[in-house]
Amino acid sequence: MPTMQLDVVTAERVVYSEQVNVVVAPGIEGELGILPHHAPLLTILQPGELRIVKEGQPDTYLAVSGGFLEVMANRVIVLADTAEHAGEIDEARAQAAIQRAQEQVQHRAADVDLERALAALRRAQTRLKVARRRREHPSPPA
């Protein structure tokens, strides 16, 4: 099966850098699938799951909070605001963040920016979803 290079980077670190078969990203207008030799593309990412498919291995999931995705010359570069592997996410903290964001949205206090509260809620929900995938698809032993 053909491969392409995938690099997921944030301002702080390289989160992922390997040859992969498929990348499924949360594009601004919906889920976006990238296969090897995809046409050049530059798009905005929304908060969501980045799914990485490598032949013969379980899918890898990253939580991204937005950013950009570029495809060029059989290489995919994700410039993410933040990106985390499932194992890096603390489920209890993600659940607490969801609770805080839901309270802000429900109470709509005058000092709360509704759009920011909704964005925080989406990010926290994505983090929790990706963290829970760790239980559904545990990493194979090394």
DSSP string, the chain: ---EEEEEE-SS-EEEEEEESEEEEEETTEEEEE-TTPPPEEEEEPSEEEEEE-TTS--EEEEE-SEEEEEETTEEEEEES-EEEGGG--HHHHHHHHHHHHHHHHH--TTS-HHHHHHHHHHHHHHHHHHHHHHHSPPPP-
**Radius of gyration over every alpha carbon of the chain, rounded to an integer in angstroms:** 16
Total-model pTM = 0.78
Domain architecture of the chain: domains with CATH: 4-85 (2.60.15.10), 88-136 (1.20.5.440)
- 45-67 pLDDT per residue, tens: 999 999 999 999 999 999 998 99
- 3-60 pLDDT per residue, tens: 999 999 999 999 999 999 999 999 989 999 999 999 999 999 999 999 999 999 999 9
Q: Check residue 98 and give its pLDDT.
A: 82
CB 18 within 8 A of CB 24: no
